[in-house]
């Protein structure tokens, strides 16, 4: 005779399940119900796991017990959704009931017998499956909304943390108060090209850097970090890259430079000699980097040369090139962009005059942006008051808050640009001119590191074709080249010419002439 019952309780953190009674509360109600209705309890089962997919451990144990013993009359549960939310588990429960392995399923609100197994349980199962499908759609919609807002729906990478204090759907990724600066140090070290992945791992762990799960950094994690665009303000999601609103560690230019360093060190080799050209020049024929070596002949003559690094059955046809020839070609290239120190001093004075005139215009622009920032902040405060007083729904509040928050973020960036934009541009221009005035001297008299810096700064796509070096000058130096080579040459203004203009408060501008 079947007399016993089993209790099954389940709760997960997904969607509506968070509104479901806790496992302890479910047990409390079901035990009281069993006592009130004289239902003897053989065993209790509970688990905290989603039922959207089959293969729950405690559920499987319960089913096995039901199929093994012949004296269990039924299951006592808070609701049928606790037993199943997928068609596989629904079918198992319906079969157990239909085949009379058990006689009844009891909930505090409804009971199900064999006669109900085909229709009512199918309806209950359909409702549960519809919930899972709606939950999936809502989840994807929420994730896409976060992505569109520039919030990465991912586990925060090392140096950041997921802000769980915000509402679901608004949780963003913020810099970790300790690990953010440590991660920045690791990335800066990697940019020097002086550290291997293993060396970076050792340094990171010595500094006390931890990954997002609070554990030490592994070598594979270091490699993934160095390749992660999240650190320059972007993020990957669903095989696409998006601009993020999180605080970056590197600028996009710095991140690209880091990737160049990593690509140049993909297959590091021990070298007894250091060359400025190493990793800087590619073969135009096959795209491989040129490698540079030193040969000492029996006569004692030292011969430095470069060759294409391609190694295969059909080696590259590009000939070897003497380093002295390359030095002469670089020297000639630098001639095309060399300006005098006197011109740099003259340009510095003119820029300061231009900055003085531009400051009044920037002050007006700054006040307009600041006023807009104040008004938006005030609107956000009013929005909070309306939501707290019940004038807005939660969805309306979240949507409007996101709009104002994004606008404030953009206004903050504009204010920052107003403070720094012009100064940064003028500093860059003067630094570029100063570099151009001394590049040739540094090339001929500086260190290997000076030469490497010059090669990285002056241009990109350094290609070697039949011993001839092709250099595509970066934009600032391309403009300088055009100015230097123009038919109209810059007239260098002497100190005696500048001094009267200083006293007379004239607007000073570049002078071009024959």
Torsion of CA 453, 459, 463, 464, to 10 degrees: -60
The label of the residue with tokens 């039901």 reads: 66
- Alpha-carbon distance of 72 to 181, in angstroms, equals 62
Contacts of 459 by beta carbon, 8 Å cutoff, 6+ apart = 471, 472, 473, 474, 477
**What is the per-residue pLDDT across 148-157, written as a single tens digit (0 to 9) for each?**
677 777 788 8
Domain 4-135 superfamily per CATH: Resolvase, N-terminal catalytic domain (3.40.50.1390)
* pLDDT at site 133: 55
Can you tell me the mean pLDDT for 340-357?
73
From the list 27, 104, 108, the residue with the least C-alpha distance to 66 is: 104
Quick check: 121 and 93 in contact, CB under 8 A? Answer: yes
What is the H or E stretch that residue 408 is in? helix 394-445
Query: What mean pLDDT, rounded, does the chain reach?
Result: 77
Can you tell me the mean pLDDT for 56-79?
92
- Alpha-carbon distance of 128 to 83, in angstroms, equals 10
Can you tell me the mean pLDDT for 286-314?
74
Q: How confident is the model at residue 495 (pLDDT cuts 50, 70, 90)?
A: very low
Residue 8, pLDDT above cutoff 90: yes
Domain boundaries of the chain, sorted by first residue = 4-135, 160-264, 276-514
* pLDDT at site 452: 81
Looking at the DSSP bridge assignments, the partners of residue 5 are 41, 74
Say what the pTM is: 0.33
**What is the per-residue pLDDT across 212-264, written as a single tens digit (0 to 9) for each?**
888 898 988 998 999 999 999 888 877 778 888 889 999 988 888 888 888 87
> If DSSP codes are grouped into helix, strand and coil, which group holds residue 307?
strand
Rg (CA), the chain: 36
Identify the DSSP state of 319: P
Q: Token pair for residue 23? A: 């496992």
Can you tell me the mean pLDDT for 454-463?
76
- Percentage of residues of the chain with pLDDT beyond 70: 76
Count other C-beta atoms under 10 Å from residue 237's C-beta.
15
Q: Which residue has the higher pLDDT, 31 or 478?
A: 31
CATH of region 160-264, choose from 3.40.50.1390, 1.10.287.70, 2.40.10.10, 3.90.1750.20: 3.90.1750.20
**What is the per-residue pLDDT across 363-389, written as a single tens digit (0 to 9) for each?**
677 788 888 888 888 888 888 888 888
**What is the per-residue pLDDT across 13-51, written as a single tens digit (0 to 9) for each?**
554 444 456 888 889 889 999 999 999 999 999 998 887
Identify the DSSP state of 231: G
> If DSSP codes are grouped into helix, strand and coil, which group holds residue 275?
coil
Residue 481, pLDDT above cutoff 50: yes
């Amino acid at each position: 005779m079947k007399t016993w019952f089993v209790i099954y309780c389940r709760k997960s953190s997904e969607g509506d399940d968070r509104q479901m009674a806790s496992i302890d509360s479910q047990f409390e109600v079901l035990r009281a119900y069993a006592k009130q209705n004289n239902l003897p309890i053989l065993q209790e089962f509970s688990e905290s796991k989603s039922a959207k997919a089959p293969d729950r451990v405690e559920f499987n144990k319960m089913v096995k017990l039901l199929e093994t013993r012949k004296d269990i009359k039924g299951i006592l549960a808070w609701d049928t959704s606790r037993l199943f939310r997928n068609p596989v588990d629904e079918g198992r429960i319906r079969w157990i009931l239909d085949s009379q392995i058990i006689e009844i399923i009891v909930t505090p609100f409804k009971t199900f017998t064999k006669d109900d197994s085909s229709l009512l349980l199918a309806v209950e199962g359909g409702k549960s499956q519809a919930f899972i499908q709606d939950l999936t759609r809502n989840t994807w919609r929420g994730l896409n909304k976060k992505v569109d807002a520039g919030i990465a729906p991912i586990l925060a990478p090392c140096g950041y943390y997921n802000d769980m204090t915000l509402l679901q759907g608004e949780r963003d990724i913020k810099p970790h108060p300790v690990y953010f600066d440590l991660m920045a140090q690791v990335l800066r070290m990697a940019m020097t090209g002086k550290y291997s992945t293993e060396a970076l791992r050792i340094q990171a762990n010595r500094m006390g850097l931890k990954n997002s799960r609070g554990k030490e950094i592994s070598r594979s994690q270091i490699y993934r970090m160095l390749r992660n665009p999240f650190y320059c303000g972007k993020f990957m999601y669903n095989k696409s890259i998006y601009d993020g609103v999180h605080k970056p560690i590197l600028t996009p230019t710095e991140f690209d430079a880091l990737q160049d360093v990593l690509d140049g060190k993909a297959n590091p080799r021990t070298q007894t000699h250091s060359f400025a050209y190493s990793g800087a020049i590619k073969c135009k024929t096959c795209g491989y980097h040129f490698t540079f070596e030193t040969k000492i002949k029996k006569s004692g003559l030292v011969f430095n040369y470069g060759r294409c690094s391609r190694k295969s059955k059909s080696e590259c046809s590009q000939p070897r090139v003497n380093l002295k020839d390359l030095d002469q070609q670089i020297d000639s290239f630098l001639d095309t962009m060399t300006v005098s120190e006197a011109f740099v001093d003259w340009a510095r004075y003119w820029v300061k005059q231009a900055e003085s005139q531009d400051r009044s215009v920037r002050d007006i622009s700054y006040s307009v942006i600041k006023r807009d920032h104040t008004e938006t902040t005030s609107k956000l405060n009013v929005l909070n008051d309306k939501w707290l007083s019940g004038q807005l729904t939660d969805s309306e509040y979240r949507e409007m808050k996101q709009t104002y928050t994004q606008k404030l973020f953009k206004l903050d960036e504009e204010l920052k640009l107003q403070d720094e934009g012009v100064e940064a541009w003028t500093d860059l221009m003067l630094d570029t001119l100063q570099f151009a005035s001394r590049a040739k001297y540094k090339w001929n008299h500086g260190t290997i590191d000076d030469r490497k810096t010059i090669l990285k700064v002056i241009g990109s796509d350094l290609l070697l074709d039949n011993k001839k070096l092709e250099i595509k000058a970066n934009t600032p130096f391309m403009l300088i080249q055009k100015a230097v080579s123009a038919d109209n040459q810059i007239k260098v203004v002497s100190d005696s010419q500048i001094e009267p203009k200083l006293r007379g408060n004239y607007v000073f501008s570049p002078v071009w002439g024959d």
